[in-house]
Chain A
Amino acid sequence: MIRQQFLQELWELLAPVPEPIRRDWMYDYEEHFRIAVENGQSEEAAAVELGDPRQIAKELLLGYRVEQAADKNGSITHVSRAVLAAVSLGFFNLIFVLGPYIALLAVLISFYAVAGALCLSSLAAIYESVWGTELTYLQGSSLAAVLMGLGILTGVGTHRLARAVARMTLNYLRFNSRMITRGNKK
């Protein structure tokens, strides 16, 4: 009964994970119950030994999210999911994982905004040289070229930076998941 409950709960909690991996993971916990009972342990004792299924599921999900994000070459959506999985492991991670991550995201967004603004202002320079009075065609078009160039450079640089941030975040999460204390102490 307790075995069924435990396994059922874990199975449901692992719903975000594709079925083949989920089945593979579940095999360990099923096997643990089976061998423990063969060795004369009660199902209750075996369940206590394993700990809280919710905690196990969180830890497994974190590992899965991190690997998935790494496979997807650090796409922001996948990295963010991994970060959230880490945060769900405890309050501690809210401060040491989510905080810095949001700060880094904000920096990236502001760089992208700068890149966008530079590109837009080159359009403004062209507009001014055509319809305005301040700039000649030559001044306008060279100013536009310079601004556009800067905008593209900033954009490319920021893109590289985003990649680096994603990689760093994943490495940090891997390191973190090795260190995270589990609810069931012994």
Chain B
Amino acid sequence: MSFLEYRVKQAPTGLRKVLYLNWPLVVLVTAVAAVGFLMLYSIAGGSLEPWALRQMQVFGLGMGLMFGIALVPIWFWRSMAGVAYLIAFLLLLVVEFFGTVGMGAQRWIDLGFIRLQPSEMMKFTLVMMLAAYYDWLDPKRVSRPLYVLIPVLLTVAPTVLVLLQPNLGTSLMLLLAGGAVMFAAGVSLWYFGAVIGVAVGAVVGVFTLRGTPWQFLHDYQYKRIDTFLDPTADPLGAGYNIIQAQIALGSGGWGGKGYMQGTQSRLNFLPEKHTDFIFTTLAEEFGFVGAFSLLVLYALIIGFCLVAALRNRDRFSALLILGVAANFFFYIAVNLSMVMGMAPVVGVPLPLLSYGGSAMLVLLVGFGLVQSAHVHRPR
């Protein structure tokens, strides 16, 4: 009995699949997205324009995509992993050379109706690719140098392209997501120890080379690190964002200032309040209670994913779910660390809350894959 046949027999078919979806996950994702709509409505000063309505439309579209993807058997997606990865990689190359320049970075292809960000696509295609790779690879060979090198290249190649755009946040996310899948797949901990050692060395190198013609990062990226180390040094310039964000957060206090009462956001002291810094408005208006509740919702989403991964005996499915969950987690962790002054401002949105079509769609596509893996798991 082939593996394939085994699964076909056991998996639900037709519309019955809907009953087998991971419904708690759907509800949690919708709940978090709804919080996002509320915040965007508040930030616009009590108006659906310009953000809330569009975000809701994108979310509707994304949910459709998610259900569509969920109903397609996971083995189809596994077979598509290589193609998807290749397409995303080629598109990354295209934007590297022909992409539209926005905000000082080459990031998207304008298709007219939507601005396609290949770096966003890369987020789930990389996870798919690596999951498929480890599904194919004999687990005994996982830690062999040659077989470690292949996924490292698969991860690093797009990471470098994204970094060159330059988009520090997304490249970091790709690196972390790739690392998480490799970690889950059982690559020896020695490799991770070595990488961390090299990373520390690289950080030292980056700072040593600063100011020389060979400096590794853009000046504005160096500046972000400086600001992180001491935001008060330049309170009206580079440190303004982070100081104002913390003021917003802190002044929310225990219970918050009330919905649409956040002075920091309403009076425009907050930067990027509808995108990367959306959490600050939430924390200001709903206080610690609201902010912590959101954190709990996020933790629940990740928790349900982890449980789904643990319960899934298909190696591809489990790795895919883990990869998506890890990616989701890293976004949350980096964004919240950033707005709470624990990490440099690297420009990472808060998943499901921050305004942004591409990110939302990609996220829901990722959850679609998770659902597909869940629905079609071996029983």
B and A form one assembly: no
Which A residues have a C-beta under 8 Å from some C-beta of B?
Answer: none
